[in-house]
Structure 1
Amino acid sequence: MEKHPLNIRTACGQQHALIWQFPQNTSGRRLLLLHGAGIAGELTWTYVANYLEGWSEILVPDFAGMGKSSFTDCPQPTVADYARQVTELLDALDWQHMDIAGYSFGGTVTETLIRESGRFELCYLLEPALLSGNDEAGLIAKAQTYIKLADWLSREPESNEPFLAFLDAVSPYRRSNAAADRVAISRLRGNVAGMVQALNAVNNSLLTNTRYFAEWTAPMPGMSMVGELSMPAMHERQARLELESEQWFTQMIKGADHSLVFTHPKQVARLMNERLQLAIGSANNAG
């Protein structure tokens, strides 16, 4: 495996990403990995990427404000702005066909990308924010929680309390572990302003698209992953998504909560590998 940093300027601003290349894999298949709010791409996906198989290249960008990417002039970005950022990067690299995975906030951006572009073939959603509630009321309540958290983080970025409240909001049933919480807070604190912008973008998206997200079905083959310790509404929504979508599967990761990409990277990668092989097998049989 080879890892190469990428720094380019596109119309929206400065873009930083990493490209993992696997010279031994000659399939030519590509994968785009999108991170969640507050923690940059490399830190989010490195351990998962180490166990992925079946892809020749993997692209891991930083969303603007989180990591080393930044918007030129976009003080209040929306989900559409983050999707535009990614699209500009893909166009600059001439990536026309690929699979995509979105974690948490990145799942919301993923939905926008697959809705607006036909370049994606297989989709993975991991603890996706847009599917965090099983009905419109649940999504509105989640948005209201994020609005309060964004405001609190803006006012008290040096305090641990708003970060703990954020962890409680996304993983209320996680196992009590003060050391793990400290690690999570230290990661999030590195990009507070970008985290606040991402939370506000999610708030806006949930409130604007409440009914659409509550009824959303997957338009392409893929898989959801949810931690065993995640909220019941998240489990219920993923189960309904699988039932109502074609060629879509939901997998629960035992012992995991919302932080599954950090705590269970081998299991995440294994499930992604298995879903890819199933998709390849289905395509071969259809051919």
Structure 2
Amino acid sequence: MLYTRDTGSGQPVLLLHAFPLNSRMWEPQMDALAARARLLAPDLPGFGLSPPPPAAPSLDDYARQVVDVLDALAVDQVVVVGLSMGGYLAFRLVGELGRRLVGLVLANTRATPDAESGALARHRLAAEVEARGVEVAASEFLPKLLGATTQRGQPALVDRVRAIIRENTPAGVAAALRAMAARPDSTSLLAGIRCPVLCVAGEEDTLTPPEVARAMAERIPGGRAMVVSGAGHLTNLEAPQAFNDALAGFLSERTRHDEGRGGDPLP
């Protein structure tokens, strides 16, 4: 089973990490929100403390492993928070979880698949990581993950993100790159989501700009979008207070959500 950080009590909230990080990226949320929610943060295969995948996995394989974690922990209804790659995985969980999905936060992510050029670049990087190690991924992604404000003003965070990336295995990083390259288009799922949804973007995110979050929110019934000032692709780390406030507010709103509309993400 995937290694999973489990802290707090209350509404279960599943935190799905970005690429090429691991569950440690969620520490600001786990520290701040444990008094109001049960926070579950798995390491995907080959990331953090989870063993590498035995074969080439797909995002659907990751989703089934995440559901296995929820089942093993006796979690029924859950709010899913996915950031970047975690968002791609969250889309696969919409079908896997069905009525168990009672809230969804899509942060710094997109529903569309890679263009052919992007998929080819992921495959090339996967081969480089296997040959030369995860530092290749750190050097490739760090300038893209963090916004200009963070890179200028938070050097300790830049070092922290690099350190988290280095904790992951080459096999896990390469497998995730190939899984993301092969991911399907999830755009058609958006109109059928029936639980509360918040789409989060960083003002300085060049990988998934704010207009991507706004476009997703417009396709989701009742979907909302918010933009975090001064943050890039890792909004939860670059602006933890703003992210935590948004997540806490979302959880409070979800508890007041009309039960007749909530809990079923499928038509």
TM-score (norm: length of structure 1): 0.78
- Please state whether the residue corresponding to 2:186 is helix, strand or coil: helix
Residues 150 and 230 of structure 2 are in contact (CA less than 8 Å); yes or no, is this contact kept in structure 1? Answer: no
Residues 130-177 of structure 1 deviation map (CA, whole Å, 9 limit, x = unaligned): 44x6xx6x644433332232222222227x554222234555866644
- The residue number in structure 1 matching 2:255 is 280
Residues 227-269 of structure 1 deviation map (CA, whole Å, 9 limit, x = unaligned): 1101275322211111121121111100000122222111111
- 1:40 Cα offset (Å): 2.2
- The residue number in structure 2 matching 1:70 is 51
Which one has the largest radius of gyration? 1
Residues 206-243 of structure 1 deviation map (CA, whole Å, 9 limit, x = unaligned): xxx2xx33555151321111111012753222111111
Residues 199 and 214 of structure 2 are in contact (CA less than 8 Å); yes or no, is this contact kept in structure 1? Answer: no
- 1:95 Cα offset (Å): 0.9
Asked if residue 262 in structure 1 is aligned to residue 230 in structure 2, the reply is no
**Aligned counterparts of 1:171 and 1:142: Cα–Cα separation in 2:** 20
Asked if residue 240 in structure 1 is aligned to residue 220 in structure 2, the reply is no
**Aligned counterparts of 2:123 and 2:197: Cα–Cα separation in 1:** 30
- 1:39 Cα offset (Å): 2.3
- The residue number in structure 2 matching 1:121 is 102
Residues 164 and 181 of structure 1 are in contact (CA less than 8 Å); yes or no, is this contact kept in structure 2? Answer: no
- The residue number in structure 2 matching 1:149 is 125
Spell out the pairing of 1:113-192 with structure 2 (5 A cutoff).
113-118=93-98, 119-128=100-109, 130-131=110-111, 139-157=115-133, 160=135, 162-170=137-145, 176-177=151-152, 180-192=157-169
Go from structure 1 to structure 2 and tell me whether the alpha carbon gap of 1:265 and 1:179 turns closer, same or farther (over 3 Å shift): closer
**Aligned counterparts of 2:243 and 2:190: Cα–Cα separation in 1:** 22
**Aligned counterparts of 1:21 and 1:180: Cα–Cα separation in 2:** 25
- The residue number in structure 1 matching 2:176 is 198
Which letter maps to 1:93?
L
- Please state whether the residue corresponding to 1:57 is helix, strand or coil: strand
* Runs of 5+ consecutive residues of structure 1 not aligned to the other structure: 1-13, 23-27
- The residue number in structure 2 matching 1:18 is 5
RMSD: 2.8
Go from structure 1 to structure 2 and tell me whether the alpha carbon gap of 1:215 and 1:142 turns closer, same or farther (over 3 Å shift): farther
Residues 188 and 195 of structure 1 are in contact (CA less than 8 Å); yes or no, is this contact kept in structure 2? Answer: no
Asked if residue 45 in structure 1 is aligned to residue 26 in structure 2, the reply is yes
- The residue number in structure 2 matching 1:82 is 62
- Please state whether the residue corresponding to 1:125 is helix, strand or coil: strand
Residues 17 and 86 of structure 2 are in contact (CA less than 8 Å); yes or no, is this contact kept in structure 1? Answer: yes
Which letter maps to 1:30?
P
Residues 35 and 44 of structure 1 are in contact (CA less than 8 Å); yes or no, is this contact kept in structure 2? Answer: yes
Number of residue-to-residue matches in the alignment:
256
TM-score (norm: length of structure 2): 0.83
**Aligned counterparts of 2:149 and 2:187: Cα–Cα separation in 1:** 25
Residues 38 and 192 of structure 1 are in contact (CA less than 8 Å); yes or no, is this contact kept in structure 2? Answer: no
Structure with bigger strand share is 1
- The residue number in structure 1 matching 2:41 is 60
